[in-house]
Structure 1
Amino acid sequence: MPNHAPVSVFPLSRRAFLGAGLSALLLPQATLAGELASPSPDLASFIQNEMRTANIPGLAVGYARDGLVRYAQGYGLADIAQRRAVTADTMFHIASVTKTVTATMIMRLAERGKLALDEPISRHLDFPVVNPRFRDTAITFRQLLTHTSSISDARYYKIDFRDHGHDAKLALPDFLKQYLTPHGANYSGAKCFSTARPGTAWDYCNVGFGLLGHLAGRIGGMNMREQTRRDIFAPLAMDHTSWTIKDTPSLHSAVPYDLVDGALVAVKPVGFPDWPAGMLRSSISDFMKFVAASANGGRSGGVELLGTAAMAQMLDMQTPPGLPEWLSGQGLGWMESPLAGQVRPNHWGGDPGVFSAVYLAPATRSGVAIFTNVGASAENRTAVKNIADRLLQMAS
């Protein structure tokens, strides 16, 4: 989403933040029991130093191995003004990391024979979705999952669909019809679809993942929010996870911050209609259960999120034309890129005031997630990658 002017709630310069006792505020909070339940002083110090360098007010980090959450920890502040600490149950907006959950829901439906990855999506829709340049070429589920559908975000980024401070008023089906159908209010044949034939070129697409969520609802017989609660969140006991701002308790919510002229400035959370692409809010203690399953052939503890073959298919990386050089592969929902010299399946997420990342190491059945409540920056991205690499080294 494009940047917007932040709403100042509690501006604080980096110098003042450090001078106010950041070292004490960065102490770890609320750890889960497990193999790494008591982080070593070296690990805690490493994370705290990365936070200082990147000016991250609050951070949650988790590590899973062999289908179990071994470590889930909060550092710093969820709310600077209230001096409320981040805990393992603090709920962060995880932005585009949401796409891994949407993709998993589609794969669950595929496993049950409700859809085929290479069939036309048009069979399951009540409105047409056709690239006007290639009317003879159907768009498929696989193409949507791999960002090769030819649906384009070019016009999406020209229109600010966000609602500030609350969930989007525009319903997902209406958003999609207005954007993708010829008589829609936001339709542009030249901008809503690319010049590439479906299936031939990579082009990262939020609208496409919004469409996947809508399709999951039609095929599964209920809104995808309800399906994921029933089929993913409830079995994994993910009690601090929500699709909406209104269902995220303020006392459990991480306040988002942007850096403006060196000052941390609180911004309102944003809601947008294509919620399957990036609206999920979750705690590190919750989301690491999902990460644990994703890194462990689809199983977390005694819960089978996906079958082994379906999970492996999600992480089978391809290199479609147009894949940017910072990626080494594209799977089904998941991506792949180098981390400290090794390629890792992963996904990043960013919106105003938040930046998140998840990395998997399937060879060691390990995974890590890092959530922060400050907007993406070069320093923040570097810090998150450094922390992810440090944790994944524990499994090597």
Structure 2
Amino acid sequence: MSKPDKVALRLQETMDRRRIVGMACAFLIRGRLVWSGGLGLADKERGLPVSDKTIFRIASISKTVTAAALLQLADRGLCGLDDDAGKLVGLPLRHPAFPGQPVTLRQLMTHTSGLRDEYAGFAAASRQDPMIPLSELIVPGGQWHPTKLWGDKPPGDPSGYEYSNLGAIVMATIIERLSGERFDRYCRKHLFEPLGMRDSSFNLQDFEEPDRIAVLYEYDADAGDYVPAADAFRGCLPEPTDLRDYVPGANGSLFGPQGGLRTTIADLSRWLEMLAGKGERSGVRILRKETAEQMQARQWSRVPQEGFYREGGLQLQRTHDLMPGRLMIGHPGDAYGLRSGMYFDPEAGIGLIYAMNGLDDAKEGHVFTAAETELATAMAEIFLRKKNQR
């Protein structure tokens, strides 16, 4: 294994060049962790450093967990990928222009259901009143039903791809209805605990050391500096939402299945090891091998091959843009100034995980930011050279 100080030096060069506040990274070879660490600050105001134990709100990487939870229930025979999601969620989930075509779980997982990304007002209101039913968003006439909930294409049409966080919220509601368990508790019991992911949860109140949670920063061009955008708790968590009367299956938005997972790079490495291991890690099987392979296989592709998402599996991105010449399977995250990624090469068995809690770095015409591609290149050069020298 390459010396950690050499890795840290390369990462620090990228941090300095791209003005990154803090960064945690990990690299896997043959599906096993070979290096992890952190640089910079998790909290600028209080001078708290980043380590591989720093907890990040990891954004849309969360969707891979939501998908795995639903696929796990499918493995138990409780649902199927091509089942009518409306029947499973107990709502008339139909595109008004194509009422005869059901929306399926597969379409939700590939962003081809026709649902647009219209959910933010409903999710905010739900934090004040957790018992607002999902029907108020989905069903016409509901208090939070938007006029542009659906796109122009029928469900399942590849050309109708539209990235939708709402799809994950529908999936989380289905998970609760099928399992009878709250979404956050289901994920902890059936996914995180079996894999030894003790620092991972969709419920903020599960974290007993708030000082470990990274502040997320957005760059303010007018001020010429970073400003806190999320998770600026200063050691004290907010008062929890009262969920004593909550009924699982009423409202899947409460725990942010689309982006609300908080986790560490160390825990996320275990999750990526499971994916690279086709559903299994260290003798613990989370998904059937065939299910994990289907999750990673190409389910959708864009013609022509343009845009950030060019092809995907089941809530997994398939890309050749992070490490040119390599197919990398995983998922990115981008919210409140955080930029994250979790990818592995199924052929070579190498993997990369990163989380940056603030950077002023536009994509500049590329599908990934310069910081992300520099990071991927640096890690690959260090570890693959060492691997080839053995």
**TM above 0.5:** yes
Match of 1:225 among 168, 184, 187: 184
- The CA deviation string for residues 41-97 of structure 1, in whole angstroms up to 9 with x for no partner, is 1x2211001111121111110122334322221111111122111111110010111
Task: Give the percent of matched residue pairs that are identical in Structure 1 and Structure 2.
Answer: 26
Report deviation, 1:321.
5.9
**Secondary structure of residue in 1 paired with 2:36:** strand
Name the CA distance, whole Å, in 1 between partners of 2:289 and 2:374.
Answer: 30
- The equivalent residue for 1:28 is none
**Secondary structure of residue in 1 paired with 2:35:** strand
How many residue pairs get aligned? The number is 353
**Secondary structure of residue in 1 paired with 2:230:** coil
**Displaced runs of 4 or more, over 6 A:** none
Match of 1:133 among 94, 97, 106: 97
Name the CA distance, whole Å, in 2 between partners of 1:184 and 1:336.
Answer: 36
Match of 1:386 among 351, 374, 382: 374
- The CA deviation string for residues 330-371 of structure 1, in whole angstroms up to 9 with x for no partner, is 110001222232332131111113121111111122221101
Alignment map for 1:91-106 (pairs within 5 Å): 91-106=55-70
Name the CA distance, whole Å, in 2 between partners of 1:375 and 1:102.
Answer: 27
Report deviation, 1:386.
2.0
Report deviation, 1:206.
0.4
**Secondary structure of residue in 2 paired with 1:356:** strand
Q: For the structure 1 residues 252 and 215, does the alpha-carbon distance in structure 2 shift closer, same or farther, using more than 3 Å as the test?
A: same
- The equivalent residue for 2:153 is 196
CA RMSD, Structure 1 to Structure 2 (Å): 2.5
Opposite residue 197 of structure 1, the aligned amino acid is P
Q: For the structure 1 residues 322 and 225, does the alpha-carbon distance in structure 2 shift closer, same or farther, using more than 3 Å as the test?
A: farther
Give the TM-score taking structure 1 as reference length: 0.82
CA contact (8 A) 1:350 1:375 kept: no
User: Does residue 344 of structure 1 match 2:328?
Assistant: yes
**Secondary structure of residue in 1 paired with 2:309:** coil
User: Does residue 183 of structure 1 match 2:141?
Assistant: yes
Q: For the structure 1 residues 321 and 109, does the alpha-carbon distance in structure 2 shift closer, same or farther, using more than 3 Å as the test?
A: farther
Opposite residue 297 of structure 2, the aligned amino acid is D
Q: For the structure 1 residues 259 and 320, does the alpha-carbon distance in structure 2 shift closer, same or farther, using more than 3 Å as the test?
A: closer
Name the CA distance, whole Å, in 1 between partners of 2:371 and 2:16.
Answer: 9
**Secondary structure of residue in 2 paired with 1:226:** helix
Q: For the structure 1 residues 336 and 40, does the alpha-carbon distance in structure 2 shift closer, same or farther, using more than 3 Å as the test?
A: same
- The equivalent residue for 2:4 is 39
Name the CA distance, whole Å, in 2 between partners of 1:323 and 1:296.
Answer: 28
Match of 1:294 among 260, 264, 275: 275
Q: For the structure 1 residues 321 and 124, does the alpha-carbon distance in structure 2 shift closer, same or farther, using more than 3 Å as the test?
A: farther
Name the CA distance, whole Å, in 2 between partners of 1:73 and 1:89.
Answer: 9
User: Does residue 256 of structure 1 match 2:216?
Assistant: yes
Name the CA distance, whole Å, in 2 between partners of 1:347 and 1:204.
Answer: 13
Match of 2:309 among 296, 310, 327: 327
Give the TM-score taking structure 2 as reference length: 0.83
Report deviation, 1:267.
2.7
Structure 1: state its 5+ residue gaps. Answer: 1-34
- Which range moves more in the overlay, 369-378 or 69-78? 369-378
Report deviation, 1:116.
0.6
- The equivalent residue for 2:246 is none
User: Does residue 115 of structure 1 match 2:79?
Assistant: yes
Q: For the structure 1 residues 126 and 357, does the alpha-carbon distance in structure 2 shift closer, same or farther, using more than 3 Å as the test?
A: same
Name the CA distance, whole Å, in 2 between partners of 1:182 and 1:212.
Answer: 20
Structure 2: state its 5+ residue gaps. Answer: 233-237, 239-252
Name the CA distance, whole Å, in 2 between partners of 1:175 and 1:54.
Answer: 43
